[in-house]
Amino acid sequence: MATAQAGVVIVGAGPAGLVLGNLLLDRGIDCVILERRDRAAVEGRARAGFLAAHSVRVLTENGLAAGLLARGKTHTTCLFRSVRGQFTLDYGKLGLGEPHTVYPQQELVRDLIAEYLRRGGEIRFGAEAEEVAGEAGGEAAGEAGEGRVRVRVRGGADVTGRYVAGCDGHRGIGRAALTAHGTRTARRDHGVSWLAVLVAAPPSLEAVGYALHERGFAGHMARTAAVTRYYLQCPRGTDPADWSEDRIWTELAIRLRTDEFGPLRQGAVLEKAVVDLRSDVLESPGAGRLWLAGDAAGLISPSAAKGANLAVLQAELLARALEGALAHGDGTGLARYAADCLPRVWRAHEFSHWMSGLLHGPAGEDDEARYGRALQYARLESLRTSRTHQDFFAENYTGI
């Protein structure tokens, strides 16, 4: 089959790849996006929905925010429940005074695809990239010469580019190709799993809800006026099929203490899956002709809703760096990409790890478990009473 050519080959049509593709097209850089799934699957996958102020600014300044500005909902509060009662933090008035915008990721993805195609971009759906070959990772970081990298597509035409952007997740070929050249990974298994449940019901709380309970964490996250996301901490290895709708609603009622604070609005369970909370970061998000963004560069646990926001940040920085290399022959931006990204990535991971410690106490009745749960409630009490602690929380909760 004939081999197509592009300035940048982007692997993966998630938020990182789609934001990157739109920004490159806007800068006059030709690119093609390869996505292994079909369009309906990409546009229908329900994921995170909390966009930080920086992400909204990037999308707005680059003409990618029409949908979220029209339909997104501003959130500025979160609520904590425990055996010791309930309190609400208005984080929009704390720290840097920044809100979240709640906009379901699948709707953002649909917007980004439509705008990318409107700008003349090419997306190949059903194109499974199986290998990055050529000079990927083999040249000096940021070199801006005329070399090319080939992306082999299973059962389809290969694509070559001056650069490849791996935006295909932590199991994708972008990461595999980079680590094959010796890039190391720092990782942590948080030892926690969540049953993630999407229900056809309006939100039951005005705020994001975090419930600490001896049976495990429970979370309430609004998505739209008719759909809500819930989380239930569960044992590692749990089969979602073991959780009936009745069991889900019963356990949510217990952990969210509805006997004390009022009932939940119930509806049909649309989706349920188990998420193991794990995090990792590559020591460098790229080299030579291959650069990564989003989960491909580092997987972050969902405990602080940072994943999509890191993807937007990295796409913004990578677009700027690739423009320098391709339009101006200046590889400085690529050489600095790791230095620009990693401090902010690690700050997000630090806060996500802190949130995990706040939300998940140890199980059991032995001395160490009781000690760990007492520390958990001490953290929560400090957050309730200390303005300094609240400002720290707000700045990190909404920022990167």
**Residues with catalytic function:** 75, 210, 302, 306, 397
Check residue 88 and give left, alpha or beta (phi > 0: left; psi -120 to 50: alpha): beta
From 301, 256, 253, select the one nearest 279 (Cα to Cα): 301
Cα dist from 271 to 221, 243, 389, whole Å: 14, 11, 36
**Which of 319, 306, 310 is closest to 342 using CA atoms?**
310
Q: Both ends of the chain: CA-CA distance in Å?
A: 44
Residues paired with 138 in a beta bridge: none
229: left (phi over 0), alpha (psi -120 to 50) or beta: beta
Q: How far is CA 124 from the centre of its chain?
A: 23
Provide DSSP, 167-202. -S-TTSHHHHHHHTTT--EEEEEEEEEEEEEEESS-
Tokens of 333: 């931006």
Q: In whole angstroms, what is the distance from residue 32 CA to residue 331 CA?
A: 21
The residues near 165 (Cβ < 8 Å, ≥ 6 apart) are 8, 9, 10, 11, 17, 20, 31, 174, 291, 292, 293, 318, 322
